[in-house]
Amino acid sequence: MDVEAILGPRLTLRQLELFVAATDHSSFTAAAKHAFVTPNAVSLAVSDLERALGVTLLVRQRARGVTSTPAGVQLAEGARALLRQASDLQLTVGDHGEELSGPVAVGCYSTLAPTVVPELWERLADRHPEIELTITEGTTEHLVGQLHEGRLDCVVAYEVALPLGLAVRRLYNARPSVVLPESHRLAGQAAVDLTELEGEPLVLFDLPPSGQNTLHLLRSRGLRPRVAHRTTNFELVHSLVGRGMGFAVQYQHSGVDVSQEGRRLAFRPIAPEPESEPVMVAWPERLPLTSRAAAVVHLAQDCLPVAEQAC
């Protein structure tokens, strides 16, 4: 009896590993160097997968490498998840003791990173020293894309920007504050009513979703924001405010009250106090977390509420 004829050809983890390497490097040659095999071995693995699945996964272009077809993109996403789970299974069942070990890749929205990453990294090094944590910063859209591609285990971002289809856990609530130059007429107040800033120039931190959140907040208080400058550089916002070029609104306070030029800034709560913005950790709903990633998520839930006090 021909078992393969009944069940169909079986895929192997090695085939999937070489296929993922080819998609990541867009080249059989580069993938071969990464996997310490020959380019022909990578090509053969991909061809075997295509024959088994009955689809074209990669388009070969002479001297231009390879590009993924829609089927190839879909397989790569599932393959990365499967390879992570296989690695997790090996580390869990193998003779490695009870200590969790291995890589965990976390994405973090850029402005949250200065508060979130150091606390998480330090606690993780103390509690799970064998876990190898890597951090990727960027916009929520970029990070969620990498999450669905299987390049990240989870992401930390504001809830407002997260799409449907993700499992989420709340970490803490971020509260917006006004950033003023120390010499501003309102800098000495305990809190600032946004209506007192009507007509003044706004330095807008415009990395999604922060820009839209700020504009929505100002408009909800009856202001017509006069945007003097837009930037995705957090430190440039502080430098411009420090020079008196306008005020800013930010949802994350790093605890440093001076710009990089050494000009003092005043961070003041907003009155009346607006709704806070939940900061969440998220991962694909349909993909289980590895035991290592689950440990990182649980640790984040334990240790990151302290960030709420710094907002």
pLDDT digits (tens, 9 = 90+) for 171-229: 999 989 999 999 999 999 999 999 999 999 999 999 888 999 999 999 999 999 999 99
The pLDDT, as a whole number, for residue 309 is: 46
Residue 120: which of 109, 133, 130, 111 has the closest Cα? Answer: 133
The pLDDT, as a whole number, for residue 306 is: 58
Whether residue 1 has pLDDT greater than 50 = no
62-74: average pLDDT: 84
The pLDDT, as a whole number, for residue 90 is: 63
Q: Which of 26-35, 87-96, 131-140, 277-286 has the lowest mean pLDDT?
A: 87-96
Whether residue 53 has pLDDT greater than 70 = yes
One-letter amino acid of 149: E
Question: Exposed, middle or buried by CB within 10 Å (0-12, 13-18, 19+), for 54?
Answer: exposed
The pLDDT, as a whole number, for residue 36 is: 84
CA angle 121, 126, 131 (to 5 degrees): 65
Task: Report the number of secondary-structure helices (H) and strands (E) in the chain.
Answer: 10, 13
275-298: average pLDDT: 90
Whether residue 56 has pLDDT greater than 70 = yes
In this prediction, what percent of the chain has a pLDDT beyond 90? 50
Q: Which two tokens stand for residue 142?
A: 């970029």
pLDDT digits (tens, 9 = 90+) for 232-259: 998 999 999 999 999 999 987 767 789 9
Task: Give dist(CA 292, CA 306) in Å, integer.
Answer: 22
Whether residue 101 has pLDDT greater than 90 = no
Pair type for strands 102-109 and 154-158: parallel
Pair type for strands 277-284 and 166-174: antiparallel
- This prediction has a pTM of 0.70
Per-residue 3-state assignment (H helix, E strand, C coil) for 261-304: CCCEEEEEEEECCCCCEEEEEEEECCCCCCHHHHHHHHHHHHHH
The count of other CB atoms within 10 Å of the CB of residue 306 is: 12
pLDDT digits (tens, 9 = 90+) for 135-177: 999 999 999 998 988 889 999 999 999 999 899 999 999 989 9
Provide the 8-state DSSP code for 247.
B
Residue 292: which of 126, 128, 51 has the closest Cα? Answer: 128
63-67: average pLDDT: 82
Residue 287 has phi, psi (to 5 degrees) of -115, 125
Give the chain's mean pLDDT. 87
Alpha carbon 180 to its chain centroid, in Å, reads 29
Which residues, 6+ apart, have CB-to-CB distance to 22 below 8 Å? 28, 31, 42, 46, 58, 66
One-letter amino acid of 112: L
Question: Could you tell me which residue, 75 or 200, shows the higher pLDDT?
Answer: 200
Whether residue 30 has pLDDT greater than 60 = yes
Residue 209: which of 201, 217, 198, 199 has the closest Cα? Answer: 217
51-74: average pLDDT: 86
**Winning range, highest mean pLDDT, from 33-37, 126-130, 279-283:** 279-283
Q: 3 falls in which pLDDT band (50, 70, 90)?
A: very low
Whether residue 113 has pLDDT greater than 80 = yes
44-61: average pLDDT: 88
The pLDDT, as a whole number, for residue 6 is: 37
